[in-house]
Amino acid sequence: MKNVTVVGAQWGDEGKGKVVDLYSLQAKYIVRYQGGNNAGHTLVVNGKKTVLHLIPSGILHPGKVCLIANGVVFDPNVFFEEVEELSAAGVFTGAPYESLRVSERAHVILPYHRLLDRLREERAGDAKIGTTVRGIGPAYEDKVARRGIQVVDLLHPSLLRTKIERAIEEKNILLKHLFDAPPIEFSETYEACVKLGERLKPYITDVRELLADAIRKKSPILFEGAQGTLLDVDHGTYPFVTSSNTVAGGASPGAGVGLGVIDEVIGITKAYTTRVGTGPFPTEIEVTEPEMAAQIRKIGAEYGATTGRPRRVGWLDLPALKYAVEVNGLTGIALMKSDVLQGLETVKLCTGYRLNGKTVQGLPSCVDDLKEVTPVYESLPGWSPIDTGRIKTRSDLPKELQGYIAAIEKFVGAPVVLLSTGPGREETLILRDPFTKN
């Protein structure tokens, strides 16, 4: 059995929840290694809709161990809300901490991070990023500036006191002079943190050590990326990105495993593209084809799981997908929501961009250039609705969909290993299983 990483190959919301849910059946450990509760997976648990933002969706399968690793920014309040919701749905067979552990070294999102996220966005006006306002960016800022609070600090009240005192002193200067906002109360923040630490204690562990042991025992591991490649802080459409490395390479520092540990990297993409928040989106069709955008949004239920915002919609962008194949080293692609486009007479694939009358190679690095590019499209015939129950192999698919898949593979240089034809688990065609040798 192999170890597999799944990542979003676009701007997030590609349907990672469904793929993680399916792949979790084969893994023993499911690991979140970056991001925080800015992610959102909608799942149906015992007939009840549950949205998980922080806890890996593998938690729904009995006998699995879900890990929140070092690279995650961790909001303890959100964690306990999710634990309570899952407990009420009867998901845990034993004590929740038997199947769910949090790294000592993960950084904690505190109320002042959420506050600063909101104030920064408000102050930025039209230049705002469109963040999820969950405090993700400010928590990562503190981590990199070496003034963050780690989960392990919650168990050491005197160290915690010093760290929070220093942090709050600085935040209050910012609040007063930059935002003209009231100061934060030290004792309220500190006491809440001590209480959270006591409650969190049974869940806290050395995740890296646990994973090293799993690797020794050859227990299969699924590394669950959050957000998407184009939101990566180093490789995305900066500054309209999140604050972590969403690319597959982030699994190594984020979880504390060597690079050679990961055998397969599967990139998740929709058959079209969506984006939430602001920032460039070359194939967006809100203005050029508003009816098509509205139709795709409606059929695909394209509203954010975390914020409920309507997602911006566009055609599949092959240069961007090829970029994702390269920066992640994708060994396979999971093509999601092919059913949303079914019944259309023609579908479009973006095969390049033009800027100032010239053809552009690859994905421009300058955000203003990416805003200005005009996509070059190839139109392909659409496919009729698919009866998934009757589809066993690729050749059973409508030939137009086969053509669409082949055009994607040829352009980006990676095989489609999974095709999703609907939201249900059974509405999936596995073309190659990354956990086994085939």
From the list 18, 32, 107, 134, which residue makes contact with ligand IMP (rule: CB under 6 A)?
134
**339 in active site:** no
The Cβ-side half-sphere exposure at 117, using a 13 Å CA radius, reads: 23
Q: Is 276 one of the binding residues for ligand IMP (CB under 6 A)?
A: yes
Closest CA to 222 of 436, 438, 431, 24: 24
Q: In terms of CB distance, is 40 or 96 closer to ligand IMP? A: 40
Contact in structure between 173 and 191 (CB atoms under 8 Å): no
Q: Which range in 71-79, 83-91, 236-244, 324-332 contacts ligand IMP by CB under 6 A?
A: 236-244
Verify binding: residue 39, ligand IMP, rule CB under 6 A: yes
Helix (H) / strand (E) element for 165: namely helix 157-177
Of 68, 72, 136, 251, the one binding ligand IMP (CB under 6 A) is 136
CA 228 vs CA 7, 115, 268, 292, 401: distances in Å? 6, 25, 9, 24, 25
Least spacing, CB of residue 273 vs ligand IMP, in Å: 12
DSSP annotation of 150 reads: B
Q: Are 336 and 270 in contact (CB under 8 A)?
A: yes
Q: Does 269 bind ligand IMP (CB under 6 A)?
A: no
Q: Residue count at the site for ligand IMP (CB under 6 A)?
A: 21
Indicate the residue among 43 and 65 with the shorter CB distance to ligand IMP: 43
375 binding ligand IMP? (CB under 6 A): no
From 38-46, 141-149, 188-196, 392-400, give the range in contact with ligand IMP by CB under 6 A: 38-46
Cα–Cα distances (Å) from 263 to 222, 247, 260, 411, 434, in that order, read 10, 15, 7, 23, 8
Does residue 246 interact with ligand IMP by CB under 6 A? no
CA–CA gap between residue 86 and residue 68 (Å, rounded):
16
Structure tokens at 7: 């990542």
Of the listed 13, 117, 153, 339, which one is catalytic? 13
Taking CB under 6 A as the rule, does residue 72 contact ligand IMP? no
- The stretch near ligand IMP (CB under 6 A) out of 79-87, 235-243, 358-366, 402-410 is 235-243
- Residue 142 found at the interface with ligand IMP (CB under 6 A): no
Identified binder of ligand IMP from the candidate list 111, 130, 398, 415, rule CB under 6 A: 130
Fill in the per-residue mask, 77 to 116: x = in contact with ligand IMP (CB under 6 A), - = not in contact: ----------------------------------------
Phi-psi region of 362 (alpha: psi -120 to 50; beta: other; left: phi over 0): left
Instruction: Report residue 257: phi and psi, to 5°.
Output: -120, 155
Q: Please confirm, yes or no, whether 41 is among the known catalytic residues.
A: yes
Q: Which of 320, 338, 357, 296 is nearest to 427 (CA)?
A: 338
Q: Name every residue whose Cβ is closer than 8 Å to that of residue 333 and which is 6 or more positions away in sequence.
A: 9, 266, 267, 268, 269, 321, 325, 408, 409, 412, 414, 415, 416, 417, 418
12 contacts ligand IMP (rule: CB under 6 A): yes
What is the contact surface with ligand IMP in residues (CB under 6 A)? Answer: 11-13, 38-40, 129-132, 134, 136-137, 226-227, 231, 240, 242-243, 276-277
Known catalytic residues? Answer: 13, 41
